Structure 1
Amino acid sequence: MPAGNASAGEILELVRTGQVRTRRELQEVTGLSRSTLAIRMTQLTAAGYVREIGQVAGNTGRPAKILSFDEAGQLVLAVDLGATHAHVALIDGGGTVISEATSELKIATEPDEVVRFVARRAGELLSRAGRSMAEVAGVGVGIPGPVRFTTQRPNTPPMMPGWHDFPVADRLRDALGLPVFLDNDANLMGLGEARARYADAPSLVFVKVGTGIGAGVILHGQPERGIAGGAGDIGHIRIVGQDEGRLCNCGATGCLATEASGGALARQLLEAGRDVASTADVARLIAAGDPLTVSLVERAGHLLGEVLATSVALLNPSVLVLGGLIPSAGPQLLAAVRESIFQRTVPLATRELTIASSSLGADAAVQGARHLVIDQTFSAAAVDARLTSAATVIA
């Protein structure tokens, strides 16, 4: 920002991201005069975006008051749509879950029906919490497929027939009257994990292993989505030696997802005579230590690790996190992935690499959705536009 010309939105961004803590620090960073800074701060406090909490002692003079983004005053509706479930949560800006509900819902359902379901559930959560739509900053939605972020529409998602280019954000915005932001679920899980546990990590790869397989790449705290939303779509990488493998729902054969996903494990167990109907059934068998299931999971982990070894060599990330229903059921998948990665990469690529399970578990996507909404609705440009609009109305 040009020295001495920082807008109210740019000041909020400095406070919200923790780059400054006091008015004195704001003056030093922005170069604003004391009077101009006072005007900007009055705008932000009147809008309920910034408050002063506590004090920090200085070397001279009176202790300075600490500036804080009013997280608790901002509400977000976060939606995690998986292959077979819908997790909807009302969360405040600081991450506290106020109300939530998880339901069985097949993502292959007609998209308009899913939008109506989400809208109904959002209304129920607000009613249960005694809150209103007017208090909500926005809605964040994660889906298990590629999203073209510039259009906010799914882009040929293999597991979601009928969803390609469907205006999810527009339809939900019309239903709720709120800003809506759509992204791939693995991106949101990675964003949630990065902000919660690895804030200082320059790069993080989050791998979701549920009914399918997907990855989110987080660089310097933000998702790297690729030109068409396909970054991290590792479930459809062909496995060496699987050219004549099973047909995948993407139309190719021998994809990683056909051998190493929760859906693939369910199929393999069913073929072995086990009474398994879903990825949740597989997870229960893993947790119970069923020998056949554990053996199949270890094989899946080695296959996944072989693919991820290339990603580790290419990106040299600082953190690799595994999440989703299968990794959360037991340590076997993580151990097998780690073994394959270390076998197939040079020490330089792994010497400073942390490989871990998700610390947020089932909440990773909704927490990531919260960050997505806050980042978008409280960006410098968005805040300045709202303050200008409010001032115009008053005038």
Structure 2
Amino acid sequence: MKPTVPTSSAAAPVPGASDIFQLLRDGRPRTRSELAQLTGLARSTVASRVEALRKLGYIAPFGGAASTGGRPPSLFALNPAARVVAGADLGATHALVSLSDLAGEVLAEEREALNIADGPGKVLDWLGSAISRLLAEAGRTAEDLGAIGIGLPGPVEHDTGRPINPPIMPGWDRVDVPAAVQQHFNVPVLVDNDVNIMALGEQATAWPGVRDLMFIKVATGIGAGIISSGQLQRGAQGTAGDLGHVRVPRGGEVLCRCGNTGCLEALAGGPALAALLAAEGREAATSGDVIDLVRSGDLRAIHVVRQAGRDIGDVLATCVNLVNPSVIVIGGSLAQAGEHLLAGIREVVYQRSLPLATEHLRIAPSVAGQRAGVLGAASLAISHVLSPEAIEAATR
């Protein structure tokens, strides 16, 4: 039977209720007795914490509706319907926002052709309106909304949610994105760069049991989302994974938009490949044109994409030795070139990385594809809502 939406938000203060809840997050139903054995707590303590979580709606009796008389059901599990979250992937020229339950099931979704260069006022006002429409479509209210996750196409100071000198986002520098969104909804707003949330989305979709994963976005720029020991690694200033501006052996004096020379992006990014093919007389102005040429069987385009894979592989070989991931996922628009790009990456990574680091390494194409960002943004929001700190605060 479908879990019920909670009708009460009141519960007596029960410190430590999050300990019980974290055991139930996996969705597996457990009895009070099992929870007592797992935690070592007295049954009376477990019972009070279970009751507090039940009143909040975070857990529900498993196997049917609550008993109307006699002894209440003994099995309890996570109630995915307790809250909903919004996830938003705001790209350079598109916006995708979804509403999900706490199990990550998408309840409603909306896509819009929206230019990030239109500025934070227009974009974030649209986001607020879109979330309102999705709540109405799903039959939920603003009170059901637990958190909002947002991915932006530029560097983000994660602790504050402020974009920092984003190159393709005029007017966004140091804008307080959470505060702007909270004018529409008074809930926690978590903001990260698009590659990080794509890594979270890919992990949730295809690799839920993998604790060491790198997601490589190959598009106009080239970046990595790094998950190590199950935790997203952002670095001290949120710039971890900026592979596009690492100098590569074949880079020479090729000028990059960052002002340096020989950067990976200047050789293997979508505009660089399009420019190279256009200089040779082919109709190529964008990453999409490069992909079309590859799919049409153009041998020169295939060679260019494979060489881009080798250049990316030069940088990833160092990453493999340094971070030792078990999975590298290749996504972004140029990943649509398929095995030609992956073949070049694999060729160099397996040749130049330490044998022990590559013994069980998998290099695979993205499964989530263009939905990786919005799924990752929702995952970011769900993790916050279900975190021990949030659960503990809710039960006070």
Instruction: Name the TM-score class by shorter chain.
Output: 0.7 to 0.9
2:173 to 164, 169, 173: 164
Map residues 21-100 of structure 1 onto 2, 5 A cutoff: 21-54=30-63, 66-100=75-109
1:155 aligned to 157, 164, 178, which one? 164
Match 1:104 to one of 99, 113, 132: 113
Deviations 1:187-228 (A, max 9, x none): 112122223332332311111112221111112322011010
2:145 pairs, out of 121, 125, 136, with 136
The offset of 1:273, in angstroms, is 4.0
Q: 1:236 aligns with which of 242, 245, 260?
A: 245
Gaps of 5+ in 1: 56-63, 389-395
In 2 relative to 1, CA 90–290 (structure 1 residues): closer, same or farther, beyond 3 Å?
Answer: farther
Do the aligned partners of residues 35 and 218 (structure 1) sit closer, same or farther apart at CA in structure 2, a change above 3 Å counting?
A: same
Equivalent residue for 1:301, pick from 295, 301, 309: 309
Deviation at 1:241, TM superposition (A): 4.1
Separation (CA, whole Å) in 2 of partners of 1:368 and 1:178:
18
Q: 2:235: which partner in 1?
A: 226
Paired residues in the alignment total 375
Counterpart in the other structure of 1:366? 374
CA RMSD between the two structures: 2.4
Give the Cα separation in 1 of the matches to 2:330 and 2:118. Answer: 27
8 Å Cα contact 1:146-1:233 kept in structure 2: no
1:327–1:251 Cα change, 3 Å: same
Q: Which residue of 2 aligns with 1:58?
A: none
CA distance in 2, matches of 1:340, 1:151: 38
2:214 is the counterpart of 1:205: yes
| TM-score between both structures, scaled by the size of structure 1 | 0.87
CA shift, 1:281, in A, is 3.7
Letter in 2 for 1:213: I
Distance 1:15 1:205, change over 3 A: same
User: 1:118 aligns to what?
Assistant: 127
1:356 aligns with 2:364: yes
Q: 1:291 aligns with which of 299, 321, 326?
A: 299
Q: Does 1:261 align with 2:275?
A: no
Distance change (3 Å), C-alpha of 1:319 and 1:253: same
Partner in structure 2 of residue 185 of structure 1: 194
CA distance in 1, matches of 2:100, 2:355: 41
TM-score normalised per structure 2: 0.87
Deviation at 1:75, TM superposition (A): 1.6
Taking only the aligned residue pairs, the percentage that are identical comes to 43
Q: What code does the residue aligned with 2:265 have?
A: A
The letter of the residue matching 2:341 is: L
Q: Deviations over 1:23-78 (max 9, x none)?
A: 333212322211111111111111110123249xxxxxxxx955321124432211
| Distance apart, 1:309 and its partner CA | 0.6
SS of structure 1 residue aligned to 2:261: coil
1:358-382: CA deviation from partner (whole Å, max 9, x where unpaired): 1211221222112211111221111
